[in-house]
Amino acid sequence: PTKLRVSEAISGAELGANIKVQGWVRSVRPQKTNLFLNVNDGSSLQSLQIVATSELNDPLLTFGSAVEVTGTLKKSPHQKQTVELQAEQIHVIGECNPVDFPFKIKERHGLEYIRQFPHLRCRTNVFSSLLRIRSEATSAIHSYFKENGFVQINTPVITSNDCEGAGELFQVEPPSPENKEDQNFFSVPAFLTVSGQLHLEAMSGAFSKVYTFGPTFRAENSQSRRHLAEFYMVEAEVSFTQSLEDLTKVMEDMFRSATEQILAHCAEDVDLFHKHVTPGHRDTIDATLKRKFPMITYSEAIDILNRSSEKFAFPTDWGCDLQKEHEKYLVKHCGNIPVFVTDYPYDLKPFYARDNQDRPNHTAAAVDLLVPGVGELCGGSLREERLDLLRARLEELGLEDTYSWYLDLRSFGSVPHGGFGLGFERYLQCILGVDNIKDVIPFPRFSHSCLL
């Protein structure tokens, strides 16, 4: 027999072929003379129907058990599937006690329930769909950058800088042996990266267009539905960028191109979400893809919030940081599609943001992309490329020595440039409508939780 993946057996193989499939049992239906099984191996959402005579039944054939089935592929007389496997041999490779197995046959378990079993939840349809979509989304993002002439850079996970200056660093240090406590492995304090931006900026000075896609870490004490301690970020940096519009064009193009690829390549898996998990969300995505994303300034956003009749828990004076409630309101106000907010108060942004040199409301050329359901999806800015202004700001912050290498970038062939970072898990939440960020990453890490 030819060994096939279940998806190949269902859509590619010839009728009459003698084949072997391996997978996990998703349903068992013994009848008078026949036994029906559904077997899934994760190659797609679909399971292959196995038909066997009752002699092949085995009490170990239970929901969740691992099996190998050999037989002949036949046209199925049932409407639900085009083919089925007439089994000649069924071998139980691994038993699964249905009493102890946390998932039950024929039950549609909710995301919250399956979250309790991070090592097993990939055995459910919903989470295996999610992870196939996540895999496709990763490829889609790489494809966008490849097709658009970006060079991929592996920025370091261990670094000595705090790019965002927000003090959310995890420090990295091997456990120190007794009496050697003053020995410091890297000789300087080292941290898990919060963003690859600064390293990417260095590279943009040679390749013009660069990106990185990797894990980033933040010691956020927040128990929110959109924060993790370890998350993946897609970051791009583009040289010779004159305006925020140059940057928002890349952000919007990437969003569209990746989303269209995911919808096209993962239709079945995406449908599972849009039909059964987050009904109604498909309309939001369709509306998002149809319209150009509006762009408003921070000052306009503040006006909109102040004119609204909504009672916000946080203040909305000019100069305040936008909170999730404000972001949600702005997205609704703009038609429930993604919206760019630009030109934030200078004092709210990290040292690298380009000074707009405007008064009295002093702003930086920074931009966030806010999306339905999630709020902030991307943060970006033009970078301060003018040596004198950047040096003055770093001196003000007492950081000129730490960032002397970064100042060098402005001394040797400095060009106007800008970039952004997109939170990959928030992107998945956005396209699927998933409320909790812990449900879009295989093994979530957050405060007080590092299971497995």
In terms of CB distance, is 233 or 266 closer to ligand 4AD? 233
In terms of CB distance, is 44 or 216 closer to ligand 4AD? 216
Characterize the bridge pairing of strands 417-423 and 375-382: antiparallel
**Residue 319 zone, left/alpha/beta (φ > 0; ψ -120 to 50; rest):** left
Q: From Mg ion, ligand 4AD, none, which one binds at residue 163 (CB under 5 to 8 Å depending on kind)? A: ligand 4AD
Binding to ligand 4AD in span 173-202, by CB under 6 A:
195, 197
Q: Closest distance between Mg ion and the C-beta of residue 216, in Å?
A: 12
Tokens (6 digits) for 231: 């998350």
In terms of CB distance, is 71 or 379 closer to Mg ion? 379
- Report the candidate in 258, 66, 50, 10 with the shortest Cα–Cα distance to residue 147: 258
- Report the candidate in 55, 53, 46, 54 with the shortest Cα–Cα distance to residue 27: 46
Among the listed ranges 173-181, 227-235, 243-251, 386-394, the one in contact with ligand 4AD (CB under 6 A) is 227-235
Distance between CA 104 and CA 268 in Å, rounded?
Answer: 23
Q: From ligand 4AD, Mg ion, none, which one binds at residue 228 (CB under 5 to 8 Å depending on kind)? A: ligand 4AD
Characterize the bridge pairing of strands 83-94 and 151-152: unpaired
Q: From Mg ion, ligand 4AD, none, which one binds at residue 233 (CB under 5 to 8 Å depending on kind)? A: ligand 4AD
Pick from 8, 88, 95, 220 the residue near ligand 4AD by CB under 6 A. Answer: 220
438 scored as a contact of ligand 4AD (CB under 6 A): no
Distance between CA 439 and CA 112 in Å, rounded?
Answer: 8
Q: Closest distance between Mg ion and the C-beta of residue 108, in Å?
A: 36
In terms of CB distance, is 19 or 337 closer to ligand 4AD? 337
Pick from 421, 429, 433, 434 the residue near ligand 4AD by CB under 6 A. Answer: 421
Tokens (6 digits) for 280: 């109604």
**Contact status, residue 116 vs residue 175, Cβ threshold 8 Å:** no
Q: Closest distance between ligand 4AD and the C-beta of residue 437, in Å?
A: 6
Pick from 196, 372, 379, 419 the residue near Mg ion by CB under 5 A. Answer: 379
Characterize the bridge pairing of strands 151-152 and 158-159: unpaired
> How many chain residues bind Mg ion (CB under 5 A)?
1
377 scored as a contact of ligand 4AD (CB under 6 A): yes
Distance between CA 295 and CA 365 in Å, rounded?
Answer: 13
Q: How many angstroms separate the Cα of 332 from the Cα of each of 193, 243, 374?
A: 33, 26, 12
**Burial label, 384 (beta-carbon count in 10 A; 0-12, 13-18, 19+):** buried
Characterize the bridge pairing of strands 2-3 and 375-382: unpaired
In terms of CB distance, is 375 or 379 closer to Mg ion? 379
Q: From Mg ion, ligand 4AD, none, which one binds at residue 383 (CB under 5 to 8 Å depending on kind)? A: none
- Report the candidate in 205, 7, 122 with the shortest Cα–Cα distance to residue 440: 122
Between the two ends of the chain, the Cα-to-Cα distance in Å is: 38
Distance between CA 373 and CA 324 in Å, rounded?
Answer: 10
Q: From Mg ion, ligand 4AD, none, which one binds at residue 380 (CB under 5 to 8 Å depending on kind)? A: ligand 4AD
420 scored as a contact of ligand 4AD (CB under 6 A): yes
164 scored as a contact of ligand 4AD (CB under 6 A): yes
364 scored as a contact of ligand 4AD (CB under 6 A): no
378 scored as a contact of ligand 4AD (CB under 6 A): yes
Residue sitting closest to Mg ion (CB): 379
Q: From ligand 4AD, Mg ion, none, which one binds at residue 68 (CB under 5 to 8 Å depending on kind)? A: none
**Contact status, residue 103 vs residue 125, Cβ threshold 8 Å:** no
Distance between CA 275 and CA 279 in Å, rounded?
Answer: 5
In terms of CB distance, is 6 or 192 closer to ligand 4AD? 192
Sites of contact with Mg ion (CB under 5 A) = 379
Sites of contact with ligand 4AD (CB under 6 A) = 163-164, 195, 197, 218, 220, 227-228, 231, 233, 235, 376-380, 419-421, 423, 425-426
